[in-house]
Structure 1
Amino acid sequence: MSAPPVAVGGSRAELPAVVRAWVDGWARSRGTDAPRDVPGGFRIEVGLPDHRARYVLPAADAAVLRDLVGAIDTPGLWIKVCAPREALEPALTPAWRISEPQYLMVSALAPVPPATPPPGYTLDLTDHDGIIDARVLFSGSGSGDAVPAASGRAALTTEAPGTAADAAPAPPGAAAVFDMIGTEAAHRRRGLGRFLMASLAHRAAELGAGQGVLVAGPDGRALYEALGWRLRAPVTAAVFTA
C-alpha cells in the first residue's frame, strides 16, 4: 500500500529546532546519552546490537549524506532523514535497508481538563525528572486483577525549540516528546489511544511543555492526525546491514 500524500506544515527554517527537540526528548525517554552535534544533524548512541547509533538529519543534504554513507561500515548504524525516500535512496548502496515511512508530527499543548478513561479502565500516571509514564489498566474482566491495556511516555526536552542548548531543564515553552505509545491487541478500537495521548498531553502541559513532538508510523499517523497533530515532515530511516 502506498503512503498517503504528505502535506507538510511550517517552514523549513523551523525544522532544525523541531528535530533538535525530538532527538533530545527521545534520548531522555530511552535513557541514552544526550545527542551530540555532527555535520548536518545529530548522533545518538543507542547501544543495541541492531541499533548501535542513529544519525538524525533535518534535511537531505547531498554532500552530508555522501560523506556520512561513505564513512559508515558498521552494521546497526542508522540514518534518519527528514525527507521522503527518494531524497535519501540515491545516496545509499545495496548494503543499506530502508524501513517503512515515518512522519515527524507536532501539536500545541495546553493544560485542558484531563480526559476520562473508558468504562472498565483506570489510568496509572507518574512523572519524575520530566519523564511522564502512563499506563491504562483494565479491571473489567471480573478477575479482580488489573491488566495493562495501553502505555506510553512523554519526555520533556531540556530546551524550548529554538533556544540555546544549555537552557535550564523544562523551560516555559519546552517540548514534550511522545514515545513508545501502544495499545494491547485485545484492547484496540476502544478509544484508549486517544485517552492515553490526552492524559500525557495534559500532564506535559502542566509541567511547562508548550509543544508536543513525535515520530509515527503510517498507522499512528492516522490516529494523531485525528487528534489534531500536524505533519511536520516525512522521515526516512535506513540501516547499514553489511
Structure 2
Amino acid sequence: MPLPDLVRRWQPGWGRCRTLPAATEVPGGLRVVLGLPGRHAEIFALDDQAVPALAERVAEAAEPTWLTVPTTRPGEVHIALENADLEPFPDAERLMTIELDDHPAHPVPNAYWAKTSEFRGVHRIDLTGHDGTVAASGLAAIVGTDAVMHDIRTDPAHRRRGLASAVMSALAVTATQLGATTALLVATTEGEHLYTRLGWEPVATMLTATAPMSALVRT
C-alpha cells in the first residue's frame, strides 16, 4: 500500500489515543493541534517531496509547530529538512505494521493480572502486580479494520519479564475481536527491537524537525 495511505490510516488512531481533535488537511500533509508547550501543532507529511513547502509553513507558524516526515529515504529527507532551516530531532522513529492474524500470543506472567478498559473508542490494557501497581500498559484505537497501538509502557522495575509482549498480545486479541485485521504503530528505536521480534515490519522512517528556537525533547 502506498505510504500516504498508511499515514492516513495510522494518524486518526494515534490522535484518538491522545484525545486530540481530528486532523485538518494542508497541502501535502495533515495538521494536528496538540496544544503543548513547544508543540502547539504537528504536521505529518503525506509526500516527502512536500518538505520545502511544509517546512516554510512550520517556520512561519505563529505557534511552535513540528513537522514529521514519513519516508523511505531518510538520508535525503534529513538533508532537505536542514536545507529548509529546520532542526531535526536526533532520534528517528519507525512506522510499523503487522497483520493481526500473524501476531504471536504471549500469555500474561503468573505474577500479574490483566485489566481491560475502554474510553471513547480507545482500549487499554493494564498489567498489575500483586502490590497493586501498574507494571505495564498499552493503548489501541480501532479505526475501521485498523488497530493503532500507542504508548506501550513497562515500569523500569518490571522490565525483562515479557510484559510488553504480553500487553501487545492482549491488545492484538482485543483488536481482532472488534473486527480489526491490521495493526499500525510508530516505534521508538528501543521499541522497534521488541516489535520486530514480534513480527512487526517497518515501512517508513519518521523524521521530525522544527524551527530551532522551539526544538524540544519529544513527549
Shorter-chain TM-score bucket reads 0.7 to 0.9
1:155 equivalent in structure 2: 141
**Is 1:107 the equivalent of 2:98?**
yes
Cα RMSD, aligned residues only: 2.0
1:176 equivalent in structure 2: 147
**Is 1:24 the equivalent of 2:12?**
yes
1:51 to 39, 42, 48: 39
* 3-state SS of paired residue (2:191): helix
TM normalised by structure 2 equals 0.87
The answer to which structure has the higher helix fraction is 2
**Per-residue displacement from partner, 1:123-160 (whole Å, max 9, x unpaired)?**
11112442101111111xxxxx3111011101112xxx
Q: How far apart are residue 97 of structure 1 and its match? A: 3.8
The letter for the 1-side match of 2:80 is: P
1:214 to 181, 185, 198: 185
Q: How many residues align?
A: 208
Aligned pairs for 1:1-242 within 5 A: 14-61=2-49, 64-71=50-57, 72-73=59-60, 74=62, 76-83=64-71, 84-92=74-82, 93-94=84-85, 96-110=87-101, 115-139=106-130, 145-157=131-143, 170=144, 174-242=145-213
2:216 equivalent in structure 1: none
**Per-residue displacement from partner, 1:60-110 (whole Å, max 9, x unpaired)?**
10xx22222223234631111112143133343555242401100001114
8 Å CA contact retained: 1:179, 1:214: yes
CA distance in 2, matches of 1:95, 1:112: 38
CA distance in 1, matches of 2:39, 2:103: 37
Q: How far apart are residue 237 of structure 1 and its match? A: 0.9
Identity in percent: 32
CA distance in 1, matches of 2:119, 2:103: 21
The letter for the 2-side match of 1:149 is: A
8 Å CA contact retained: 1:154, 1:178: yes
The letter for the 2-side match of 1:76 is: P
The letter for the 2-side match of 1:195 is: A
* 3-state SS of paired residue (2:91): coil
8 Å CA contact retained: 1:102, 1:215: yes
**Per-residue displacement from partner, 1:161-206 (whole Å, max 9, x unpaired)?**
xxxxxxxxx3xxx211111111011111100010000001110111
The letter for the 2-side match of 1:70 is: E
CA distance in 1, matches of 2:101, 2:16: 22
CA distance in 2, matches of 1:232, 1:81: 13
2:217 equivalent in structure 1: none
Gap runs ≥5 in structure 2: 214-219
CA distance in 2, matches of 1:99, 1:59: 21
Gap runs ≥5 in structure 1: 1-10, 140-144, 158-169
